[in-house]
Amino acid sequence: MEADLKAGFKDKTNKMLGYHPEDAKLSKSYIAVAFMALLVGGFLGLIQGLNRAGLLELPTWFNYYQVLTAHGLLLILVLTAFFTIGYFYAALSHNLGGILPKVRRLAWTGFYVKLVGFVLAVIPILMNEASVMYTFYPPMAAHPVFYIGLALIVVGVWLCCIGAFIQVANWRKNHKGQHVPILSYFATGVFVLLFFALMFVAVEVLFMIIPWVFGWVDTINVMVARTLFWAFGHTLVNIWYLTAVSAWYVVVPKIIGGKRWSDLLTRVVVIALVIMNITGGFHHQIIDPGINAVVKFMHVFMSLAIGFPSLMTAFALFAVFERTARRKGGKGLIGWWKKMPWGDVRFLAPFIAMLSFIPAGAGGIAQSTNQLDQVVHNTMWIVGHFHLTLGMSVVMTFFGISYWLVPFISNRVLTPQINRLGVIQTWIWTVGMIFMAGAMHYVGLLGSPRRTSYTTYGDHATALGWDPYLMCLAVGGTLLIIGVILQVYAVFNLMFFAPKGETEFPIAEEEDNATKTPYITERWGIWIVVMIIVVAMAYVIPLTEFIVNAPPGSPPFKTW
């Protein structure tokens, strides 16, 4: 009875807090840009896939490496950054009683600064002056304007981070002793990670690459630059993952009519992912020369440590599924699965995303170990792993979120027709990704390299043996572009054409009689200090070694 009253009060509070038109406009703008990037980036991905399979020859004025760079920039930076910020700002608005005016101004400023940055980054790509495959990875050097654009993107994201910190701090000031609502807690973790991860790439771009590409210095320390890049690059992947996990923990249980497993466990997972994430970047250099074996061993351990919160997440979420299904009458060892709402795209899409993280995470473990990584490094396996992680686990969760978030911020409702379309889109996307990512993994094991356009290496028998798998890659890419078109249609239909009405912002309550969450989980100052100590353990020794005993610096190279 008490629990029901409590839940009813929170529902009313949510409804009262729920929809803030000015904040909704902000989130809607971010989400709209994210899905426009998906549409353009998706078509570029199809072109890239057809070329990689030898089915399409690109003109000299728009080559494979330009397409690859633009595809990566749009999907890895624009789609993910704009969706994450739009989603979490909607959560901050809903959870914390509306965005403060000064925070809203910061977010809008960040929005336009990022847009300007992206335009500046795209221009040299179109001019074939920045085909560096969306990385900041010396000694390959792009046109200086490309890096200036990227620096503006960093500034824009930082403004959004600062805005989120101000918003949460203001709520805590007015709600002393209370726990920050769980989805805003996730947002805090994501923005903390973003803020600190961006420091690494900001140092690399502002103090190393820009002086180098302008010719103010002759050479660059490649080892330092690559290390700074991966401290940012790998953390970015896990920022997307933490964003997806927030929906798995908080939203999916509500959609299936269940409750969250444990508030304490949820917050511990957030803290663990924040503390241990940045150090995971070093495993991308695990077979690089010039790095001490002891340092590599330490980083294998630090990379694998990220698996623990993921295992906790798997346990908690499947426990929620089973408990909820059994409460609804599900019987037997596996019979309770029939009680899951398989026809609801808001559940189906994130559920398949969760399942895909099992092979995606296992692939990540393979790449974190020295011996296994020597087999797959710089092969198509890596590309397959990346698409399985980002394209399935993360982006499919984003798709699932869009079916309630877009109606919520647009003051509209999800119609049965769009729900059916979403279910169809989910299966098309799943089959397409199985074909494409599966083929990439396998052909990578056969030795097919990544980051190259189609070649038979003079009709060498080994290279010709890759062709059937590259054809599967092209089939998968074709299915995926169908999925992209359906998804973008669904989002803009829900944004502008669906019937007017109220949509719930689904936030699951904690299980009854759950263990009380200690307030120390709110002490972000402590967790940030711990994170800095762990990061220092990981990076101070190798970076000092790279600087004190620096290898010969490199001039800029244009390899295309």
What is the structure's pLDDT at 368? Answer: 83
Which among 241, 142, 264, 141 has a CA at the least distance from the CA of 511? 264
Q: pLDDT-based confidence at 3, cuts 50/70/90? A: very low
What is the structure's pLDDT at 12? Answer: 52
What is the structure's pLDDT at 1? Answer: 43
- In the block, residue with structure tokens 């930076």: 77
Which tokens hold the place of 149? Answer: 């654009």
- Residues linked to residue 379 through DSSP beta bridges, in sequence order: 449
Q: Dihedrals φ, ψ of 260, to 5°?
A: -70, 145
First to last CA, the chain: 69
What is the structure's pLDDT at 282? Answer: 79
What is d(CA 257, CA 236) in angstroms, rounded to the nearest whole number? 32
Is the distance from CB of 74 to CB of 25 less than 8 angstroms? Answer: no
Q: pLDDT-based confidence at 61, cuts 50/70/90? A: confident
**479 Cα distance to chain centroid:** 22
Contacts of 349 (CB under 8 A, 6+ apart): 396, 397, 399, 400, 403, 422, 426
Is the distance from CB of 252 to CB of 347 less than 8 angstroms? Answer: yes
Residue-averaged pLDDT of the chain: 91
What is d(CA 17, CA 504) in angstroms, rounded to the nearest whole number? 11
Which amino acid does the sequence have at 11? D
Most confident of 239-243, 304-308, 385-389, 488-492: 488-492
CB atoms under 10 Å from CB of 367, counted, come to 18
What is d(CA 481, CA 428) in angstroms, rounded to the nearest whole number? 10
What proportion of the chain, given as a percentage, has pLDDT over 70?
96
Please say if the pLDDT value at position 136 is more than 80. no
Please say if the pLDDT value at position 135 is more than 80. no
Please say if the pLDDT value at position 390 is more than 80. yes
- In the block, residue with structure tokens 């990566």: 72
Per-residue model confidence as pLDDT tens digits over 20-60: 889 999 999 999 999 999 999 999 999 999 999 999 989 88
What is the structure's pLDDT at 18? Answer: 57
Which among 292, 471, 444 has a CA at the least distance from the CA of 376? 444
Which tokens hold the place of 398? Answer: 């984003």
Number of residues written out for the chain? 560
Quick one: average pLDDT of 506-511?
Answer: 90
The larger pLDDT score, comparing residue 68 to residue 298, is at 68
- In the block, residue with structure tokens 């999925």: 483
- Cis bond leading into 139, ω under 30°? yes
Work out the angle between the directed axes of helices 144-174 and 182-202 (0-180°, nearest 10): 150
Which among 355, 241, 389 has a CA at the least distance from the CA of 309? 241
Quick one: average pLDDT of 173-190?
Answer: 95
Q: pLDDT-based confidence at 382, cuts 50/70/90? A: very high
Burial of 155 (0-12, 13-18, 19+ CB in 10 A): middle
Please say if the pLDDT value at position 405 is more than 70. yes
What is the structure's pLDDT at 307? Answer: 84
Per-residue model confidence as pLDDT tens digits over 316-368: 998 999 999 998 888 888 888 888 999 999 999 999 999 999 999 888 888 88
Quick one: average pLDDT of 504-525?
Answer: 90
Quick one: average pLDDT of 379-386?
Answer: 93
Per-residue model confidence as pLDDT tens digits over 443-495: 999 999 988 888 899 999 999 999 999 999 999 999 999 999 999 999 999 99
- Residues linked to residue 554 through DSSP beta bridges, in sequence order: 220
Q: pLDDT-based confidence at 123, cuts 50/70/90? A: very high
CB atoms under 10 Å from CB of 83, counted, come to 27
Please say if the pLDDT value at position 266 is more than 60. yes
Q: How far is CA 153 from CA 115, 120, 336, 470, in A?
A: 8, 10, 47, 34
Q: Dihedrals φ, ψ of 399, to 5°?
A: -60, -50
Q: Dihedral of CA 281/283/287/292: which sign? A: positive
pTM: 0.93
Contacts of 300 (CB under 8 A, 6+ apart): 283, 286, 368, 369, 370
